[in-house]
Amino acid sequence: MSPVLALAAPRRSSARAVPLLRILGSGIDVVSYRTNERAGGPVPDAILATSVIALPVLPPVPVAVWVDTDEEFDTATSAGVAAVLSSRPELVDRGAIHVPRFGIDVSRWPPIAPLVRSRWRARYDLPADLVVGVDVSIDADRPEETLSLAAAAVVVGDATPLALALGTPVVTSEANARRYGLRPDLDVALAAGPHAAQGLAAEIARDDVLAARLSRRGRHAAERRLDLGSPAREIRRRLGLSVAGPASPSDLVAQRLEELAVPDGSPLRRRVAAALSPFPTPVAGAVP
């Protein structure tokens, strides 16, 4: 039976929990604390609270709570919560777990070096200086595939953390860089307007040194500023929410192949299965 995590969110504060819950909630039953209580449901195994306002009414189970000020930090620690969460550096310095306002589980997306990208483009007969534009609010169809091949990309919106995690050299707007806490001309390149962004991305795609530098720094920025995976795992540990992991390395690889939509019986699955043959569990979809 999966552990139950209740979200205790005073009015108009639940949105801050959504990015974290996309990762923290994997393998866990997430319920509304208020709805569960009104329905007479069982006491949850742990609670994620979006404000210290909720603390006085919560039952004696492990609690993680967001704080935004020193006063709230003191209130949370005095209440004996299992974990204090914040996106504010000064509170992280005091011991809060850093939870970015936006992000992804960076560990799921290994960086792809410019040299590897160039070989893939050659294999698929794509332009050596391929530049793409990605805005998932417009085109949400597997942006990771496009970003993995690009020599440089013009990116705005929700695809930004993914692009940086993959090591894609990114050109973006000043507003988008500010939203994600990115340093201009270090983590990303800035351009004013779509035409200028396309031109700058084309320049980066033709400059191997600049592309490599932006690739490395972008990945580093994703790890330092936009990773929700590490805090999610630490929060889960502190709340005592144990979730069974994959039964074997083969199971984990099979999950990744499914995410990449690799067809059953394909040459890639057969090659992966052969490489993992010393392990006891076969890769799903591999046909001998």
Name the residue ranges covered by the structural domains of the chain: 4-98, 106-225, 246-288
Per-residue confidence (pLDDT) for residue 283, from 0 to 100? 41
pLDDT classification of 246: cutoffs 50, 70, 90: very low
User: What is d(CA 18, CA 101) in angstroms, rounded to the nearest whole number?
Assistant: 9
Amino acid symbol at 104: I
**268-281 confidence digits (pLDDT tens):** 778 877 777 666 54
**Between 177 and 244, the higher pLDDT residue:** 177
Would the CATH topology of 4-98 be identical to that of 106-225? yes
Question: What is the mean predicted confidence (pLDDT) over 259-269?
Answer: 74
- Is pTM beyond 0.75? Reply is yes
Task: Please give the mean pLDDT across all residues of the chain.
Answer: 89
With 0-12 / 13-18 / 19 or more C-beta atoms within 10 angstroms meaning exposed / middle / buried, residue 20 is buried
CATH 3.10.20.30 fits 4-98, yes or no: no
Max intra-chain CA distance, the chain: 63
β-sheet bridge partners, residue 133:
154
Nearest-CA neighbor of 143 among 172, 126, 164, 127?
Answer: 164
With 0-12 / 13-18 / 19 or more C-beta atoms within 10 angstroms meaning exposed / middle / buried, residue 42 is exposed
Question: What is the mean predicted confidence (pLDDT) over 124-139?
Answer: 82
Query: What number does CATH give the domain 106-225?
Result: 3.40.50.2000
Question: What is the mean predicted confidence (pLDDT) over 160-171?
Answer: 96
Per-residue confidence (pLDDT) for residue 274, from 0 to 100? 78
pLDDT tops 90 at residue 197? yes
pLDDT tops 80 at residue 186? yes
